[in-house]
Amino acid sequence: MKALLNSEGDKVWAYVFPKGAVPVKGFSPFWAKVRGVEMEVYLVDWTALTEVEKSLIVNHIADKSGDSRTAVEAEILKNGLPLRDALVSCVPIPGRYF
C-alpha cells in the first residue's frame, strides 16, 4: 500500500520518493504525538524501503535534528517512521469496482 504525496509532500520527500509514492502500513491516518505535537500520521512501511531510501531518510533526520544516525535509526526501529497526513493526497485502495 502506498501513500501518494501532495505538492507539499513532494517538497519534503521528493529526494527519497521521486515518484511521490511512499509505502505505508495502513490506508487511514491515526493520531500520534510527534516531537511533542499531536498530529495525524501514516506509519511508513520501513521494511518495504530500499537500503538507499532508508539511508537518505536517516541522514536527513539526523542532520535536521542533530541526533546521531545510530540514534535516529534506533528510534525508527523502536517506534516507526511517521508520515504527516498533511503531506499526503490519498492512499489508493486496490480493488475492483463493479
pTM for the structure as a whole: 0.87
| 97 pLDDT higher than 80 | no
Task: Tell me, yes or no, whether 98 lies in a domain.
Answer: no
Eight-class DSSP state of 15: T
Question: How many domains is the chain partitioned into structurally?
Answer: 1
41-53 pLDDT, tens per residue? 999 999 999 999 9
| 98 pLDDT higher than 60 | no
Task: Tell me, yes or no, whether 97 lies in a domain.
Answer: no
Task: Tell me, yes or no, whether 47 lies in a domain.
Answer: yes
- Kindly indicate the confidence band of residue 27, based on its pLDDT and cuts at 50, 70 and 90: confident
Task: Tell me, yes or no, whether 95 lies in a domain.
Answer: no
Contacts within 8 Å (CB) and 24+ apart, 89-98: 89/4, 89/5, 89/6, 89/9, 90/3, 90/4, 91/1, 91/2, 91/3, 91/4, 91/24, 91/26, 91/27, 91/28, 91/42, 92/2, 92/4, 93/1, 93/27, 94/1
Task: Tell me, yes or no, whether 52 lies in a domain.
Answer: yes
Burial of 57 (0-12, 13-18, 19+ CB in 10 A): buried
54-93 pLDDT, tens per residue? 999 999 999 999 999 999 999 999 999 999 999 999 998 7
Taking the C-alpha atoms of residue 53 and residue 17, their distance in angstroms, rounded to an integer, is 8
What is the extent of the structural domain holding 81? 2-90
Give residue 93's pLDDT: 79
